[in-house]
Amino acid sequence: MSALVALIGFTAWTLLLVFIAVNWRALEILRGVKADSWTRGAERERPSMVKRMEHAHFNCLENLPVFAAIVLAAYAMGKQPVVDTLACYVLIARLAQSLVHIMGVSHWMVMLRAAFYTAQVLMFFYMMWGLVA
């Protein structure tokens, strides 16, 4: 899998998470909840799984630009092999982190999620090092 395909996969996953959260809101509106009841800063009760999915989406948004910058810089510099070797593992770690986040927030789930996140960050640093070395 090329790094560009992994980047598209990361982006698609991010969009899927927000699509699910937005559709939950649409269903709530169809059930009679006022559309303006999700104002910023005002906490609204929602199922914990939806809350966790939104947070998983936010986590994706925090890391997608970093991954995109590394991949696109590598391609612009003609150093695709530097990122092609690890990009699929970044995507796998991202998917795993999100799925664990959606499943629950017990101590061990949070620790596992942190491990997947740490793996991503270490791969980011390794790929960046390959670009500047």
pLDDT digits (tens, 9 = 90+) for 5-15: 999 999 999 99
**What pLDDT sits at residue 41?**
61
E strand or H helix at 117, and its extent?
helix 107-132
CATH number at 97 reads 1.20.120.550
User: 71 with 83: CB under 8 angstroms?
Assistant: yes
Kindly report which listed range (34-43, 64-73, 91-100) carries the lowest average pLDDT score.
34-43
Number of domains into which the chain is organized: 1
Residue 114, both tokens: 């942190």
Give the model's confidence band at 44: pLDDT under 50 very low, under 70 low, under 90 confident, else very high: low
More confident call, 43 vs 75: 75
Mean predicted lDDT score pLDDT of the chain? 91
pLDDT of residue 54: 87
Domain limits for position 102? 3-132
pLDDT at 121: 97
Contacts of 80 (CB under 8 A, 6+ apart): 2, 3, 74
Phi, psi of 41 (to 5 degrees): 85, -20
**Sequence letter at residue 50:** V
Residue 43: what pLDDT?
Answer: 65
Task: Supply the pTM of this predicted model.
Answer: 0.87
